[in-house]
Amino acid sequence: MSYHTPESPNFFSADWLRTHIFQTIEFYYPQCMDEENGGYFHCFRDDGSVCDTLDKPLVGIARFIYNFSIGALLGGPLEWRLAAEQGLRFLNRFFRDSVHGGYYWHLKGRIADDPKKIAYGHAFVLLAVSTAVKAGIKEVRKWIEDIYNVLENRFWDGDHGLYIEERSADWQTVSPYRGQNPNMHLCEALIAAFEATGCYKYLERARGLAYAVTVGLAAKTGGMIWEQYDRNWNPDWFYHEEYAGNEFRLYGFILGHSIEWSKLLLKLSVYYSESWITRRAYHLYHCAMALTEDSAYGGLLFSILPAGCIFDADKYYWVMAEAIGASVLFAGLSRHPYYLQKYQSLFLYCDRFFIDHKYGGWYNRLNRENQRTSPVKSPPPKTDYHPIANCYEALRVFSGERFRNLPHFNE
């Protein structure tokens, strides 16, 4: 299904990608800046107006810091670096637990209304701080090791080579729940920590997580990525099977996560010439794309049941963005035109249905027929981190930074 028109953007242009990143940030800035409490607002209507002034999720503030750091890294206005610094100050003052260590999961204003400690949230803190360092905010570099030590001392399950998900605020109570999702984002964050510091222990841990999930856990579930596990890392086939709505503990085979893992494996392949890395990346990408592509309405379906039938047929902005990122990294590594064509077709679909050309930003979720499911464009903790991150990956490919000697593509 083609959405190409003569007016379609040149998605292969580094200049266009940089402009799109900037326009996406501009949807949020400056109205996201909370000048009363500090940090940011996290809920936005279509026109960018704020729809909640108190909710402050850990993941959301970390993603905003990441976004503003990427904007600064790409030569955006000084105000974006200052916005990242404001978020870092708020993170350190109000989210960081000065008594027990680690970071609270959620605040109302400045008060921790959900103080438990979640590995998924700490993954995004590590990603945010590492990206801020890459953007030149060097004074927070020491935070990287501090966050890593919290992860090692409080979340690391050495017997299985994976991170557990949840502990109480004082670390005394450990949830029996285990999930692949925090480990995926910790892999991403650890690669960023390595890129920011040059410290190879972060890269080695990222490689270990990738192997543990995409080889070890996947071997228990037919080669694809299952989301939920018990305390011994055996697949839990029933956790949350009654509904599809939990953003962080999703039921089913979430095909976007298989695609996202393929992208992370390709990023690791820059540093490791181990055949399992590219082999698993290829398998996860192609199996997921074969299962998720919607030939009737375009886009990518969200999840399938263990039996193979569709569980959630909606289209999610982050799945589309991750597929764009994975496709462009495959294009950069293989030079095969299939991946360039896939990258273009995915972006054309997003340009038609997900990108708001009036106000900026991406819509959050569409039904199978590509209709909006909510009047709120950006609920917490969206921030459009996924499109910004994957446009940045594409920019690095087409500018020659990620892979050298890539031909210039105009079509």
Q: Which tens digit of pLDDT belongs to each residue from 97-153?
A: 999 999 999 999 999 999 999 999 999 999 999 999 999 999 999 999 999 999 999
Domain membership flag for residue 2: no
Least Cα distance to 376 among 29, 20, 51 occurs for 51
The catalytically annotated residue of 257, 283, 357, 408 is 257
pLDDT (average), residues 297-320: 95
Strand order in the sheet with 303-304: 253-254, 303-304, 310-312
CA distance linking residue 187 with residue 172, whole number of Å: 25
Q: What mean pLDDT value characterizes the chain? A: 95
Residue 4's pLDDT is what? 52
Domain membership flag for residue 9: no
CA distance linking residue 196 with residue 69, whole number of Å: 12
Domain membership flag for residue 4: no
The catalytically annotated residue of 106, 185, 386, 408 is 386
Domain membership flag for residue 403: no
CA distance linking residue 24 with residue 383, whole number of Å: 9
The answer to whether residue 240 is catalytic is no
Domain membership flag for residue 406: no
Domain membership flag for residue 407: no
- Domains in the chain: how many in total? 1
Query: Which range of residues forms the domain containing residue 255?
Result: 14-398
Which tokens go with 390? Answer: 């994957």
Q: Which tens digit of pLDDT belongs to each residue from 40-61?
A: 999 999 999 999 999 999 999 9
The answer to whether residue 185 is catalytic is no
Contacts with 289 (C-beta within 8 Å, 6 or more apart), sequence order: 259, 300, 323, 342
Residue 240's pLDDT is what? 74
Residue type, 385: Y
CA distance linking residue 373 with residue 6, whole number of Å: 29
Q: Give 407's pLDDT tier (boundaries 50, 70, 90).
A: very low
Q: Would you say residue 164 has pLDDT above 60?
A: yes
Q: Which tens digit of pLDDT belongs to each residue from 217-261?
A: 999 999 999 999 999 999 999 887 666 555 667 888 999 999 999
Please give, one letter per residue, the 3-state secondary structure of the chain. CCCCCCCCCCCCCHHHHHHHHHHHHHHHCCCCECCCCCCECCEEECCCCEEECCEEEHHHHHHHHHHHHHHHHCCCCHHHHHHHHHHHHHHHHHHECCCCCCECCEEECCEEEECCEEHHHHHHHHHHHHHHHHCCCHHHHHHHHHHHHHHHHHHEECCCCEECCEECCCCCCECCCEEHHHHHHHHHHHHHHHHHHCCHHHHHHHHHHHHHHHHHHHHHCCCCCCCEECCCCCECCCCCCCCCCCCCCCCCEEHHHHHHHHHHHHHHHCCCCCHHHHHHHHHHHHHHHHHHECCCCCCECCEECCCCCEEECCEEHHHHHHHHHHHHHHHHHHCCHHHHHHHHHHHHHHHHHCECCCCCCECCEECCCCCECCCEEECCCCCCHHHHHHHHHHHHHHCCCCCCCCCCCCC
Q: For the whole model, what pTM was predicted?
A: 0.95
CATH number at residue 321: 1.50.10.10
pLDDT (average), residues 372-401: 95
pLDDT (average), residues 360-386: 97
Q: Position of tokens 């909606």?
A: 314
CA distance linking residue 217 with residue 222, whole number of Å: 9
Peptide bond into 115 cis (omega under 30): no
Domain membership flag for residue 1: no
CA distance linking residue 388 with residue 127, whole number of Å: 14
pLDDT (average), residues 70-96: 99
Q: Would you say residue 403 has pLDDT above 70?
A: no
Q: Would you say residue 6 has pLDDT above 70?
A: no
